[in-house]
Structure 1
């Protein structure tokens, strides 16, 4: 690659990144979910004359984007919630993916001239997995039961793996012209189970490095970025599931992180991951929109009208399949098991409908379609490749834009409630803080009585703990919606924020006095930031 080409590519990436940031800010102004807005904006930009043609390399998606995005999702997933709703998660991630692939295979073969059953399964494997980022982004700011978001997040961790496995076997069948169900089933078990094993082994190796090597917060943060790539590449090297390797490894390291990461590492890693994850997600969604010219150009013998018709029909089919699947999957296990009926509250008819309507397709589907080879092993052109790519694009556009824009309205119309929550989120946060203060005070009274009497610093710590416990108790009382207490709480927040503002201004003065080192001033500024962040997460 020449220096000129390299400079042009760098400028293109920087321009794309800057455009993505501006579009996300605009989407916030318009109060629209940014994945939907970025896809539409990318679609509009693709019509701009003179704009450089951007062709996504599928290896770039699978290798550069997919491992960190999956790892971040696994890291942020609650293992408790994942295990609690494992049955509906698995029914969606495996059962629905295979069911969708099968129905799409037979319908596409019957509808599209020249479409074979292996090609139908290939298309089904491509468009079967919903996109997690799109669903969670749309659901932000909308009140839905924790059960709904937990199931959607858990499904998204696993369904990419199952759909890619279907895609892999269907692609092999098209290339070889032969397909064995027994061999495919055996290979599926091997690919899945060994992917899990590779992820767990690699994750435990990184756990040992974090725990026993002399790392720093910066080193630990970099290692968290290295880990998903090692898991993915090692599993794929042995032809196992790299997706399941990243998911299982991410879940394990997240579960063990409290043993190896100190506060500084967590603060630094969380901030870096939040920024990187945001950039990666934003870029892939705007790239989806920019791929329209690539999808249209290669239709060949099919007219644009025909291709759009096929895409619309397939889109309607997969939306209906998901909605129809939800109710037997939600209620048949309840009818068959007394244990499930006693341990789980009924989802009602609204919850399954919301989960069914949240099946928006995204970047994995596009990357899978783009990764279909141009040629067969005998050198002939891969059959129906361009049509598969175009149908995939239409499915992504329809499900992401239409379902994404209507999902908040549907949730409001259904009047879905959070009745299954043990207590409101605000009360849970305050309750956790109160328990932590109480156990700290109990521990100090049991082990440090003499220190609290003789050491003024330790006595001040004990008094601060008591004051914080009292303040948290008052917060819990204020959450009962007593107007007087709530007004007092709001006034308390206003005063505290004003005090922090004055302290921040004083830090600015201290910088100009040139008495204290800059590193110490920045440390104190970080402490003020943490104090302000605590207030911003409290109810107002």
Structure 2
């Protein structure tokens, strides 16, 4: 291991360079990273990289999911829950079914069960790729919320399909009743493990808190414990991490200090930056091993590429069809049940949804986790071909869809659904609200000896003044000022929960400012 350690250090430097280059070129960085890994793999003397699926599922996946769950808006997730659930579960099953029948018909030696296995592998779109592209284009908030919510859950549904397909291939039988019970347990068990461990970690934070480092380390440990324990009881580790992450994120102001929240944000940004970079670079680096195994089984490279492009086409078409059917169903269902928004978003929205289906590292890890043998003496059928098709799907969706999605969004001119108040107007509203909270708190302090000093400090805070504030001579002043900031924080949280037209991203900027001010006060103590 230590012999290749310098290679990994160089790899991280290359990742940093490629991400900076991608930002300058306004290209989604996963595209350049996969191509970069592919290019490096052909350099003579470069170590052969073998990606163990456990490395992805156990080391990379939990923190990546946890960070996404921590940062997503629960308000938006709940508001669009029906569409998100439909995409995360219905879309994945529909896609896997489509791939199963096409593979069975066009690819020699592929049974329906083997096609379902391939469908489960390639069905979940990659959240990182879509998120990286969205930085360069503007889409309606509801679309980004659905895409983010879908990405949190579709890995779980695809891995469930993958697991059932493996069992069917191994035993030669499929029991619908048992499958439904197993599916229910994976969802319910994952939720139970995630929420229970989330509650336990809150208690641990309160019990073990001595400095920010302890709290930050606990946040890093949490997703691994959730994932591993859920998998040990044969439920969904993905659901456990997502539910636990959402629960802890909603409670963050109850058990984390302002200092921990600010420092933890920086730590997690750096950690996720490196992890995302490595996983996409490793995809490109793994191609030589995939091609070698394909040739070892005497499979034509040209035919394998053709099959990969065929499956890619199936993924795009099935995603478009499902998105269109979902939107039509929502409009019809709105006549009988209340939905978040019954307006028909039109075919343009379906086109964009279809084109956001870039695949990534979860698909590759699932393919790599296929066992070498279906039994003690029988090799797993078509394993190398499935691996290669998965790689072609990942590469082609990243290149074709990833490079053209920004142009498509600009060209297609999506409707503005007016889901949220304009950002500038929101800022004016929030400014007025927190100022009103400050004035109300000061009104209750009138006649108090500290009132003049507190009024002056509050005015500096409202005006974003850089004038140095001295609390040393008046310790009680710090207490009153922190109470005032807490009153403003609670108002922001309440307003965010009660007003669905307020964009949570803007609210979080204000909460971060309050954390910064509170942290500065604590630093003077």
1:315 to 309, 312, 315: 312
Counterpart position of 1:479: none
Q: CA deviation at 1:459?
A: 3.1
Q: CA deviation at 1:301?
A: 2.5
Counterpart position of 1:458: 454
After superposition, the Cα gap between the structure-2 partners of 1:355 and 1:449, relative to the gap in structure 1 and judged at 3 Å, is same
Counterpart position of 1:115: 110
**Counterparts of 2:262 and 2:46 in 1: how far apart (Å)?**
40
After superposition, the Cα gap between the structure-2 partners of 1:45 and 1:213, relative to the gap in structure 1 and judged at 3 Å, is closer
Please give the residue correspondences for 1:70-149 in structure 2 after superposition, counting only pairs within 5 Å.
Answer: 70-149=65-144
TM-score where L is the length of structure 2: 0.86
Task: Tell me, yes or no, if structure 1 residue 405 matches structure 2 residue 403.
Answer: yes
Q: CA deviation at 1:454?
A: 5.5
Query: Per the alignment, in what secondary structure is the counterpart of residue 251 of structure 2?
Result: helix
Please give the residue correspondences for 1:94-493 in structure 2 after superposition, counting only pairs within 5 Å.
Answer: 94-299=89-294, 300-338=297-335, 339-340=337-338, 343-445=341-443, 447-451=444-448, 455-464=451-460, 467=463
TM-superposition CA deviations, 1:178-208 (whole Å, max 9, x none)? 2222221221111111111111100110012
Q: CA deviation at 1:212?
A: 4.3
**Contiguous gaps of at least 5 residues in structure 2:** 469-511, 518-525
The CA RMSD over aligned residues, in Å, is 2.1
**Counterparts of 2:7 and 2:202 in 1: how far apart (Å)?**
38
**Counterparts of 1:352 and 1:442 in 2: how far apart (Å)?**
48
**Counterparts of 1:383 and 1:343 in 2: how far apart (Å)?**
47
Q: Which runs of 4+ in 1 moved over 6 A?
A: none
**Counterparts of 1:333 and 1:32 in 2: how far apart (Å)?**
34
After superposition, the Cα gap between the structure-2 partners of 1:19 and 1:342, relative to the gap in structure 1 and judged at 3 Å, is closer
TM-superposition CA deviations, 1:408-453 (whole Å, max 9, x none)? 01101111143423222233234223311221211221x20113x6
Counterpart position of 1:525: none
TM-superposition CA deviations, 1:42-62 (whole Å, max 9, x none)? 122222222111111110000
Counterpart position of 1:57: 52
Q: Would you say the 8 A contact 1:333–1:340 is kept in 2? A: no
Q: CA deviation at 1:352?
A: 2.5
TM-superposition CA deviations, 1:222-246 (whole Å, max 9, x none)? 1000000000000011111101000
**Counterparts of 2:193 and 2:81 in 1: how far apart (Å)?**
21
**Counterparts of 1:251 and 1:341 in 2: how far apart (Å)?**
23
**Counterparts of 1:52 and 1:212 in 2: how far apart (Å)?**
46
**Counterparts of 1:465 and 1:530 in 2: how far apart (Å)?**
10
Which deviates the most, 374-383 or 258-267? Answer: 374-383
Q: CA deviation at 1:148?
A: 0.7
Counterpart position of 2:501: none
Q: CA deviation at 1:348?
A: 2.7
Q: Would you say the 8 A contact 2:442–2:451 is kept in 1? A: no
**Counterparts of 1:21 and 1:463 in 2: how far apart (Å)?**
42
Q: CA deviation at 1:331?
A: 1.8
Q: Would you say the 8 A contact 2:88–2:151 is kept in 1? A: yes
Q: Would you say the 8 A contact 1:221–1:269 is kept in 2? A: yes
| Count of aligned residue pairs for this structure pair | 470
1:14 to 9, 21, 42: 9
Which deviates the most, 339-348 or 218-227? Answer: 339-348
Q: Would you say the 8 A contact 1:129–1:163 is kept in 2? A: yes
